[in-house]
Structure 1
Amino acid sequence: MLKVGLLGAGRIGQVHAVNISGHERSTLVAVSDVNTAAADALATKYSAKSCSSDEILADSSIDAVLVATSTDTHSDLIEAATAAGKAVLCEKPVDLSLARAKECLAKAQATGIPVMIGFNRRFDPNFAAVKVAAETGEIGKSELLSVTSFDPAPPPVSYIKVSGGLFRDMMIHDFDMANFLMGAVPQEVSAVGSSIVDPAIGEVGDFDTAIVTMRYADGRLAVIRNSRRAVYGYDQRVELLGSEGLLSADNVLENTVSKATTAGVTSAKPEFFFLERYMRAYAAEWTAFVEAVVANSPVPVTLEDGISALALAEAATESARTGKPVTVSH
């Protein structure tokens, strides 16, 4: 039984607590958060202890930690946890700084302790099926990828100020999805961004609407579209065009009921936000982590994967600011 410490008791920490405690091969034994009341409440719910992150890292009986704290703490906690001999599953991104993330990679690798980055969308059953179909050649050679990711509403500006920007905070999932589905990191990134949903987002130097195009060394292309506002719900789709066909994964709807009348055909809206849309993906992600740690096998989403996505986010940020394509350094 894998004994797990949860660092972070916020919204995403609570999602992870469900999966840790509900898995047959893991148990939640400790919770920490800068908001001690939140840590106390979550720990009590799962019969765990509430303590500081330092205490969790120093506890030799704890086998693994799940890092669900603010992004600016991720690299420090990964380094401390691996130095303490604890396997790590860390929420994205690795850091707000690519240089700092690379330092973290070097230190974590030196310990030989597994670190997995929480790009949960790889474990969505629909996107995973697209990956399998593409790898087995069902559409020939993949040539053009389109990723659509629209949030139902923008977060508060107070969050935007500390998020690292749309490309590092929101689109980083889509950069990883592109790397996942195309099986490579692109060579060049071009980005354009605007603030048309909420002018206050632009006033703090960020975008709420953006398009990124990416070119691969072999000529393949990928397009990512992001918006902070889709009034009809959480819009999450991918299309992969190949030499012999097209693969697509559409939205998951609130229900499967449709109505057909003389006025037309209607169906339910997409599930409203990521907690509803990706609950199965989070559970599958945790299972994959547990199985890798228990079997001492490679984790399916590596720290290097996290750095690749962050490199694309930094390139997109630069491109959007300068209006010029940016070559990605590998």
Structure 2
Amino acid sequence: MLKIGLLGAGRIGQVHAVNIVAHPQSELVAVSDKFDEPAEKLAQMHGATVRSSEDIIADPAIDAVLIATPTDTHADLLEAATAAGKAVLCEKPVDLDLKRALDCLARCEPHGKPIMVGFNRRFDPNFAHLKAAFDQGEIGKGELLSITSFDPAPPPVSYVKVSGGIFRDMAIHDFDMACWMYGALPDKVTAIGSSIVDPEIGKAGDFDTAVTTLEFSGGRIAVIKNSRRAAYGYDQRIEFLGSDGLLAAHNVLENTIEKITAHGATKAKPEHFFLERYAKAYQIEWNSFIEGVQGASPLPVTLKDGINALVVAEAAALSAREGRSVDIAKEILR
């Protein structure tokens, strides 16, 4: 039984708390948050205690921590936790600054502790089945990957201003998916963005609509479409064209009812947002972390994977800002 400390009692921390408590091999023993009320409420709900992040990390009786705090704290907490001998599951991204993330990797690696980054979409059963089918050669050589990721509504502008922008905050999930599917970093990144959903997002220096093209070795391509607004719900789809066929993962709908009349056919809308759409993925993610820490299987999303996604996000942001393609090896990893 692994004793777990949860750092962060906000929306995503609450999701993780449920899965920690539900797993037979993990026990939630302590919760921290910069605000007392959510920490106390979450701790009371799950029979844990409220402590500071520093106390949780320093406690030798706690085996692992889950970092669900604001992004600008991730790298510092990762370094402190691994230095204290803790296994860590950290929400994405590692940091908004690539250099800081690379420094974090260099400081954490020597401790040799298990670290997993929370790119939960890899654990979605539909996407995982698609990836397995591709790896088994069911469509031959992968040639064109298309990823659609639309939010139902834009976030508050106050969030946009501290998010790091659409590429580092939202599209970074899709960049991770593309690298995972192809098993490599792209060579070149080309991105365009606009602010047509909410002019205030543009005034804050960000985009709300974007398309990114990733060019991989051998001419392989990935196209990623992002929008902060889809009036019909949370749109999450993948199509993967290969030399021998196509793999597709469609939206998960609110229900499976289809109505057909003389006037036409209707179905339910996609699940409303990520909490509903990826509930199962978060459960599988936590189970994978526990298995990795216990040595039953390798950790499926490493700290280096998290940095690779940030590398692509950095290139996309530069490309959109300057209106040109960006060579990752020459301009981002130089």
TM score, norm. by length of structure 1: 0.99
Give me the whole-angstrom Cα distance separating, in 1, the residues matched to 2:285 and 2:89.
10
Instruction: Name the residue aligned to 2:185.
Output: 185
Instruction: Name the residue aligned to 1:35.
Output: 35
Instruction: Name the residue aligned to 1:146.
Output: 146
Give me the whole-angstrom Cα distance separating, in 1, the residues matched to 2:114 and 2:218.
32
Farther-moved stretch of structure 1 (267-276 vs 213-222): 213-222
RMSD: 0.7
> Helix, strand or coil for the counterpart of 1:218?
helix
Amino acid at match of 1:49: T
Instruction: Name the residue aligned to 2:300.
Output: 300
Deviations 1:206-225 (A, max 9, x none): 00000000111211000000
Amino acid at match of 1:323: G
1:78·1:88 contact (CA, 8 Å) conserved in 2? Answer: yes
- Equivalent runs, 1:202-213 vs 2, <5 Å: 202-213=202-213
Runs of 4+ aligned structure 1 residues displaced above 3 Å come to none
- Equivalent runs, 1:19-58 vs 2, <5 Å: 19-58=19-58
Does residue 62 of the first structure (1) align with residue 52 of the second (2)?
no
Give me the whole-angstrom Cα distance separating, in 2, the residues matched to 1:55 and 1:296.
29
Give me the whole-angstrom Cα distance separating, in 2, the residues matched to 1:198 and 1:2.
45
CA drift at 1:313 = 0.3
Instruction: Name the residue aligned to 2:196.
Output: 196
Give me the whole-angstrom Cα distance separating, in 2, the residues matched to 1:123 and 1:33.
27
Instruction: Name the residue aligned to 2:233.
Output: 233
CA drift at 1:297 = 4.7
Amino acid at match of 1:221: I
Give me the whole-angstrom Cα distance separating, in 1, the residues matched to 2:126 and 2:251.
9
CA drift at 1:262 = 1.5
1:114·1:298 contact (CA, 8 Å) conserved in 2? Answer: no
Give me the whole-angstrom Cα distance separating, in 1, the residues matched to 2:297 and 2:57.
23
CA drift at 1:180 = 1.0
1:195·1:208 contact (CA, 8 Å) conserved in 2? Answer: yes
CA drift at 1:166 = 0.3
Deviations 1:13-52 (A, max 9, x none): 0000000000000000000000111101100111100010
Give me the whole-angstrom Cα distance separating, in 1, the residues matched to 2:196 and 2:121.
27
Instruction: Name the residue aligned to 1:265.
Output: 265
TM score, norm. by length of structure 2: 0.98
Amino acid at match of 2:196: I
Farther-moved stretch of structure 1 (288-297 vs 308-317): 288-297
CA drift at 1:226 = 0.2
Instruction: Name the residue aligned to 1:81.
Output: 81
Amino acid at match of 1:118: G
Consecutive unaligned residues of structure 2, counting only runs of 5 or more, are none
> Helix, strand or coil for the counterpart of 1:105?
helix
Give me the whole-angstrom Cα distance separating, in 1, the residues matched to 2:57 and 2:298.
22
Give me the whole-angstrom Cα distance separating, in 1, the residues matched to 2:117 and 2:62.
19
Does residue 287 of the first structure (1) align with residue 287 of the second (2)?
yes
Amino acid at match of 2:58: A
CA drift at 1:296 = 6.6
1:65·1:81 contact (CA, 8 Å) conserved in 2? Answer: yes
Instruction: Name the residue aligned to 1:5.
Output: 5
Consecutive unaligned residues of structure 1, counting only runs of 5 or more, are none
Aligned-pair identity (%): 66
Give me the whole-angstrom Cα distance separating, in 2, the residues matched to 1:182 and 1:34.
39
User: How many pairs are equivalent?
Assistant: 330
Amino acid at match of 1:262: A
Deviations 1:126-185 (A, max 9, x none): 000010000000000000000000000000000001000000000000000101111111
Instruction: Name the residue aligned to 2:323.
Output: 323
Give me the whole-angstrom Cα distance separating, in 2, the residues matched to 1:86 and 1:298.
17
CA drift at 1:264 = 1.1
Give me the whole-angstrom Cα distance separating, in 2, the residues matched to 1:31 and 1:296.
27
CA drift at 1:298 = 2.8
Farther-moved stretch of structure 1 (176-185 vs 224-233): 176-185
Give me the whole-angstrom Cα distance separating, in 1, the residues matched to 2:31 and 2:77.
14
Give me the whole-angstrom Cα distance separating, in 1, the residues matched to 2:57 and 2:79.
11
Give me the whole-angstrom Cα distance separating, in 2, the residues matched to 1:153 and 1:68.
23
Give me the whole-angstrom Cα distance separating, in 2, the residues matched to 1:283 and 1:293.
16
Does residue 252 of the first structure (1) align with residue 252 of the second (2)?
yes
Amino acid at match of 1:87: A
Give me the whole-angstrom Cα distance separating, in 1, the residues matched to 2:36 and 2:162.
21
Give me the whole-angstrom Cα distance separating, in 1, the residues matched to 2:131 and 2:164.
29
Instruction: Name the residue aligned to 1:220.
Output: 220
Give me the whole-angstrom Cα distance separating, in 1, the residues matched to 2:25 and 2:263.
52
> Helix, strand or coil for the counterpart of 2:82?
helix
Give me the whole-angstrom Cα distance separating, in 2, the residues matched to 1:110 and 1:36.
34
Instruction: Name the residue aligned to 1:110.
Output: 110
